[in-house]
Amino acid sequence: MTILTNITIKIWRQEGPDTEGRFETHQIPEISDEASFLELLDILNERLIEEGKEAIVFDHDCREGICGTCSMMIDGQAHGPQKGTATCQLHMRTFSSGDEIVVEPWRATAFPIIKDLMVDRAPFDRIMEVGGFITAPTGGAPDANIIPIPKPVIDASMDAASCIGCGACVAACPNGAANLFTAAKITHLNLLPQGQAERYKRAEAMVEKMDEYFGSCTNHGECEAACPKEISIDTIATMNVDYWKSKFKNRQHLDR
């Protein structure tokens, strides 16, 4: 274990969505390199509370890289400088003594700031509400488990299902697009036999709901680079194919 010293934290503070924000600078005299980044914020908050000041608001829950709530920009990068890592999995050994670390909330129009580092990611919920599920009868768990699925298909589905909905893809995208998130949620269902009955309806509904809140994808690839689960932008191509097929199939249906 190594002790880091003289860490400077430049952190965003904002009372609410309609107030002007500002940076505050705090000093952390020493911290173990084994501490997580969220533990660094915990230590800072304990000190602020002891001094009679208001703690810094930030989202967190599982602290195991599963829930996706630990969303923040660290030194201008979503979740920080370590690739394939959520903020709660980022450890202080990534930094050095004497470093200045800049911490901000997600910067995206679709994610208004609630307070400090916490943003409202409700648009993701709206996308999921219109199609991120299976309603077609597929039988109980034993019935579903006896359906043979090729390994490459199930692997691709599980890779897409690893999306934790953190919003890093949106925060990193210069257009504020949510295509990687939406594609992951569509793809992991649309690849499975159980998802086929609603495949095109799902793609159409989720893509069009996404377009109500977010910008357009222009294939910068920043989303894939920022994703803590390293989900491939190939899922976006899969989503686009299903979306255009859905428009053609729905048009055929209306013509009949």
Q: What pLDDT does residue 255 have?
A: 47
* Cβ count near 76 (within 10 Å): 11
pLDDT at 141: 72
- In this structure, the answer to whether residues 131 and 19 fall within a common structural domain is no
170 and 138 within one domain: yes
> Residue 68 belongs to what domain range?
3-115
One domain, residues 209 and 227: yes
pTM of the model: 0.93
Taking phi over 0 as left and psi of -120 to 50 as alpha, with beta for the rest, 2 belongs to beta
Same domain, 144 and 40: no
Q: How many domains does the chain have?
A: 2
Q: What is the pLDDT of residue 208?
A: 97
The CATH number for 155's domain is 1.10.1060.10
136 plus 102 within the same structural domain: no
Q: Residue 22 has which token pair?
A: 């500002």
Same domain for 12 and 27? yes
Domain final residue, candidates 67, 88, 115: 115
Please indicate, yes or no, whether residues 65 and 176 belong to a single structural domain of this protein.
Answer: no
- Residue 153 shares a structural domain with residue 102: no
Pairing of strands 100-104, 3-13: parallel
Determine the pLDDT at residue 146: 82
pLDDT number for residue 140: 76
Counting beta carbons within 10 angstroms of the beta carbon of residue 211, is it exposed (0 to 12), middle (13 to 18) or buried (19 or more)? middle
* Whether residue 174 is found in the same domain as residue 228: yes
CATH number at residue 97: 3.10.20.30
Measure the CA–CA gap between 255 and 28, rounded to whole angstroms. 67
pLDDT tens figures, 37-76: 999 999 999 999 999 999 999 999 999 999 999 999 999 9
Beta partners for residue 25, in sequence order:
10
The last residue of a domain, from among 69, 85, 115: 115
Q: What pLDDT is stored for residue 1 in this prediction? A: 86
Question: Which pLDDT score, from 0 to 100, does residue 144 have?
Answer: 67
- Read off the tokens for 139: 């039988």
Q: Which of 96, 115, 134 delimits the end of a domain?
A: 115
User: DSSP readout, 33-57?
Assistant: TTSBHHHHHHHHHHHHHHTT-PPPP
Do 7 and 52 lie in a common domain? yes
In this structure, the answer to whether residues 111 and 129 fall within a common structural domain is no
- DSSP output for 114-147: EETTEE--HHHHHHHHTTSS--S----HHHHHTS
pLDDT in tens, 111-134: 999 999 999 999 999 999 999 999
Q: Are residues 127 and 108 in the same domain?
A: no
Strand partners, 23: 12
Low-confidence ranges of the chain (pLDDT < 50): 254-256
